[in-house]
Structures are given as C-alpha cells and as structure tokens.
Amino acid sequence: MKKVRIVALREDRKALLEHLQDSALIQIRKPDKSEKRFSNENVGAKVQVFERNVTLMEQALKILDTYSREKKGMLSAFAGRREVDPDEIGAIASKAGEVVKVCNAIVDLNKQIADNSAEQVRVKTSLAQLELWKNLDIPLNTADTKSTAVFIGTLPAMYNDSSLSEKLAAENPKLEFEFEIQQAENNMTCIVLFAPLSQKTMAEDVLRSLGFARPMSPTHKIPKVKAQRLWEKLEKLDKNSEEAKEKIIALADRREDIKVTQDYFRIRADKYNVINELEHTRHVFVINGYIPEEDCEKLQKLCDRVAPCWLEFEDAGDDAPVKLKNNRFARPAENILTMYAAPSREDIDPSPLLAFFFYFFFGMMFSDAGYGLLMVVAIGIVLKVFKPDERMRNNLKLFQYCGISTFFWGLIFGSIFGDAPASLYNLFTGSSITMKDILPWPTLDPQKDALMLMVISIAFGLVHILVGMGCKFYVCLRQKRYAEAFFDTGLWMLMLVGFAVLGVGMATSHTVLMIGAGIAIACAVGLVLTQGRSKKGFGKVIGGLASLYDVTGYISDLLSYSRLLALGLTTGVMAQVFNMLASMFGTSWLGIIFMVLILLIGHAINIGLNALGSYVHTMRLQYVEMFSKFYEGGGTEFEPFSLKSKYIKIKEEK
C-alpha cells in the first residue's frame, strides 16, 4: 500500500473527482498535517441537501411498499444492481427535481393519511362519549335559566331513580331537585339534574360529594345531531384517506425513477463529503489518499488523461488500510476473514488456508453427495441468470465450493440424499440392498465406522492446528523473533507431532511408540527450560513447569474436531429417517404422493438445518481453533472512493 498526494488545478476538480470515483482506485484521507497556506472548503450545506434528498426518497420508497408492494421473485435478492450507461447519469440529474417533487407528494399524502387516522381516533372517542347521551334532547352545555340551575354529567356509581333520590336527599335534605337518568351501567350513571337557581351552590356541594363530573367535550348541539355530524366527518375522513392511498398507488410506477435518483444523490453526497477532506488554495487543490501499489500506474494514466496533475507516492506506514488480493479459489473466503477482523500490517493474509479448510470441513460436516450436487447446480444457475454483485457473487461462490466438497465427502460416506437410492430400490423391488451394494467404491459409514471417523476427525484437527501454529512460526521468523518462533511455537508443534506418533505407535509397533514418546519428552524438557526465560531466579523453573499445563488446552482443542463426525452423522441419520418415513406408505398412488411430499419437505428441512449447522461450526473451528494460534487482526479494510450506490452501477467504459 502507498500514500499518494495529487495536486491539480481547482478548475479540474469536478472532472478529476468524478473519474476517481468511477475508477475506485484510491481511499481519500485527511492530511497528516495541514499547512497554513491550505484551507478547507466547507460544502456541508450541499451535503445536507443531498443527504436530505436521499432520506426523503428512502421514506417515499417505504411508503410505496406499504400501499403498493413491489413484485419480486423469490430469488430477486441475488440479482445485481441495474447497469446504466454513464451518459444516462445526465438524464437522471435533469429529472432529479421532478422526482423530488414526486417524493414530497408521496410523503405529504402519507402524512395526510396519518393525520386523518389520528383525527378518526379523536372522532371515535367523541362518538363513544356521545353514545352515553344519545337519548338526551337538550345540548350537553345547556346553560342555567332565570330560575333553574342545570347540571349535566356523570356520577361514579350505578344508580336507579329511587337510589339516587335517596342519596341526594341524604346528602342534604333541604335541596329541592328533579333529575333524569340517561344511562346507567357499571360504575357510572349519566344524569340531568335541575335545581332552583337559589340553591345552585347547595346542589353543587351535594353533587361534588357524590363525585359528579361534567362531560369532557360539551357541545351546544343535541347529542344525536352532534353524533350524526361526527359520523359524516368520519366518512369524509375515510374517503379522503382512500383517495390519498389511490394517489400514492398511482405514483408506484415512479419507483424506479426514485431509486436511480436516490443513488444519484447518494453519489453526489459522497463526492461532496470528499471535498470536505481536500486541501485548497486559490488556484489548486490537493488530494491525499492510499492506493494499492499495483494501481499506481493506473492512477498515473488516469490523471494524464483527465487533467494535468502532480503525483507523489510514498510508503504508507503502519496505519495503512489493507486490501486483500487472492485468486478465485480463496477470494470467496475473504468475507469470512473480514467478519472476524481485517489483517494488520504484521499479519499474513490467511485467506487461502481459510478457504481450503472451510470448504474441506464444511463438506465433511454436510457430507451428502446429493445435497452437494444440488448446491453446485442451483448456485451455478443463480450466478448465470441473476449476475449478482461482487460481494454477493463471492458469498455464492463460497457455498458452491462448499457444495463441491460436500459432493465428494458424500461419495466417501456413501450418502446420496441419505440412502435414498437403496431405500427406493428396496421399496419398489422388495430387495434389501444397502448403499455399499450399489456404489462401486469402498465407503465409510459414519454410523458403523464412528470410531475410525473420530480418529480421522481428530487427525484433521491436528493438521489444522499445526498449520495455524506454522503460520505463527513464520510470522515470528519474519519479525526476527527467533526465540519465540523456536521455543514458544516450534517446541509445541514438535510435541504435538510426538503425541501423534505416540498414538500411531500404540496401534502399530513398539518402536514407533518409543520414537513418539522420545519426541514428546524431549520437547517437554525444552519447554521447561525455555518457557520461564523472561522470569528471574527460581521463577524460571516454575514458569517452565507451569507451561506444560497448556497441553490440556491443546487436548481440548483437538476434541473440538469431534464435531466433524457429529455433524456428518447427523446429516446422514436425518436423511435416512426421512427416507424411511417416505417408504412407509407403500407403492400405491396415494403412497407415492405422500412419499414425494415427505422426501421434498424432509430433505429441505435437513438441508436447511444441517447446512446452517455446518456453516456455523466450520466458522467456529476457523476462528477459535486456528486463528487463535497466530492471527492478531485489528487492521482496517481498504475502502476506496467509489460509486456507493444501492440500485444502479455505472457501466465501465472500455
């Protein structure tokens, strides 16, 4: 990685930035130290306008999806962005103002619907309150007359005529009153009470003691008339909302215009954000950035073609971002690596090793030739038909390579959709053959040869761990940390090899056993003598002896690889169970229909569950067992200044 400094005339800024954004060659960075003669141009206001338009269009698209969902196929998520010609960007820009107006109209119509909905809630609440007074033939806010005080409201208890009369009289026997109960239900009674105007204060005190409350929204109209008007208002609001919805749906055909215009504003916002990072004088501007060393010549040619520039390259230093560069086999595994952490400057790129072991272990866990072939063919069709973007393509290629590994491991385990060929043959012929009888090559049965497969799984685990430790050995040598390489890593590698030879000797010959024991003992002595070297005095011996306890950690790591057997066994057993269930209904037409349904649904469930399990556990073996031995991570991914669009991509000029 190199640091690059580009100095160009200010009048060429627009053209140069557009070509740099198209080419995605450099990552723009802030200068380490800005000189006094340079200044920054504040274009924050323009960025805010572009970002506000992006947000507006995202909101408009969500509203369109609410009322007129876009029709998409089941596999549309794999489709790549639509390619547009560079000349088409000008047409998109010319229509941007109109599209903004369309989006504002969609948002306003949605706000109108929301306001109507809120108003409908208020109207329905008022109607519910008026329902209590539907038989009242005077307004709720009827005023006192010259001689009579009028009280309209509710009491927090249920009364009838006699009980209420007794209650009022008990509160104040001097009070003269007449009342009418409009509605009585649990914990509430709606009343209209009349009293002499001269006793108004007395009536208020009595009613207050009973918890009397006037209506929350009194009206000067009779409740029945008011309710009718509210129903009419409710219908009007409904109609208004339906009209607004229809207008939104009518604008659904502008969805594609909104998408491409949103990407146009997104690209403009990115460009103007970069302008904030640049240094300017009155006549020139300066771009500081990072560029992969192999792209320096491309950048030089681009600048020569677009505008006169002065370029300066220098070493990027320790804080430089990382750009991974791998072949077709290892590239799909880069996403798995960056999910963990990008490599630091001191790390090696483990993508090739990660790719090999990821494909290998995934296939061993999924381990069915039928499933593997299905993965390879299905992903191949998706890649051919939908032409996905690079990141999605790499993810699909990852699973396609895993499918190839699954296919070959399935042949080794003699599993083709479980034992489907043998099961179906036995069902229709009455025979009792097995997969070993059908396949012309020797196979391993995970159920019958479980012990052998356990040994094989742990052996593969040992190789995996040794490869990780070998990477650590190499990194230490490259950094000239020779003591750490030989004593802290090399001795442990030899000890693990010694244990492996010892295990082989236990099953073969006494001589091999003694050789393995000798290697292990020699390495143990070496560890005791060297692992406490940083301590003083007697601490050296204690530190060396204590280091031998780490052997339990390595044993635990090796046992983790038993999941290779466990997942492989699970896949095969579940497939055989579904095959057995499918054959239980016989060979009648109804039996065949049930058989097909059970096979399709059962194997789909098996693929979903065990593919996910194989993916997760394979990642665990890489991250926990291998990466922990050598990989530090902590690097920063190279993120070039590019067209970060969501829906479109610009066709590359040939």
pLDDT digits (tens, 9 = 90+) for 221-262: 899 999 999 999 999 999 999 999 999 999 999 999 999 999
Overall average pLDDT of the 135-149 stretch: 90
Q: Has residue 75 got a pLDDT over 70?
A: no
Least confident interval from 34-38, 59-63, 500-504? 34-38
The torsion defined by the Cα of 627, 633, 638 and 643, in degrees rounded to 10, comes to: 70
- Three-state SS annotation for 601-622: HHHHHHHHHHHHHHHHHHHHHH
Backbone phi and psi for residue 14, each to the nearest 5 degrees, phi listed first: -60, -50
Overall average pLDDT of the 434-455 stretch: 89
What pLDDT score does 652 carry? 61
Nearest to 59 by CA among 104, 115, 116: 104
Q: Has residue 437 got a pLDDT over 70?
A: yes
What pLDDT score does 34 carry? 61
Task: Name the percent of the chain lying above pLDDT 90.
Answer: 52
Residue ranges covered by each domain of the chain? 142-214, 325-442+450-471+562-630, 481-559
| pLDDT tier, 542 (very low <50, low <70, confident <90, very high otherwise) | confident
Q: Has residue 581 got a pLDDT over 70?
A: yes
What pLDDT score does 539 carry? 65
Question: Beta-strand (E) ranges in 116-245?
Answer: 148-155, 178-185, 188-196
Q: What is the pTM of this model?
A: 0.80
End-to-end CA distance of the chain: 26
Backbone phi and psi for residue 58, each to the nearest 5 degrees, phi listed first: -65, -40
What pLDDT score does 167 carry? 92
Q: Has residue 188 got a pLDDT over 80?
A: yes
Residue 642 and residue 19 in contact, taking contact as beta carbons nearer than 8 Å:
no
Overall average pLDDT of the 190-204 stretch: 94
Q: Output the average pLDDT for the chain.
A: 89
Residue 206 and residue 164 in contact, taking contact as beta carbons nearer than 8 Å:
no
pLDDT tens-digit map of 456-471: 999 999 999 999 999 9
What pLDDT score does 35 carry? 63
Sign of the torsion angle spanned by Cα atoms 319, 320, 321, 322: negative
CA distances from 499 to 179, 443, 460, 489, 515 (A): 101, 28, 14, 16, 10
Q: Has residue 540 got a pLDDT over 80?
A: no
pLDDT tens-digit map of 50-64: 999 999 999 999 999
Q: Has residue 530 got a pLDDT over 90?
A: no
Overall average pLDDT of the 589-618 stretch: 94
Does domain 142-214 fall under CATH 3.40.50.720? My reply is no
CA distance 288 to 293: 15
CA distance 146 to 154: 24
What pLDDT score does 52 carry? 94
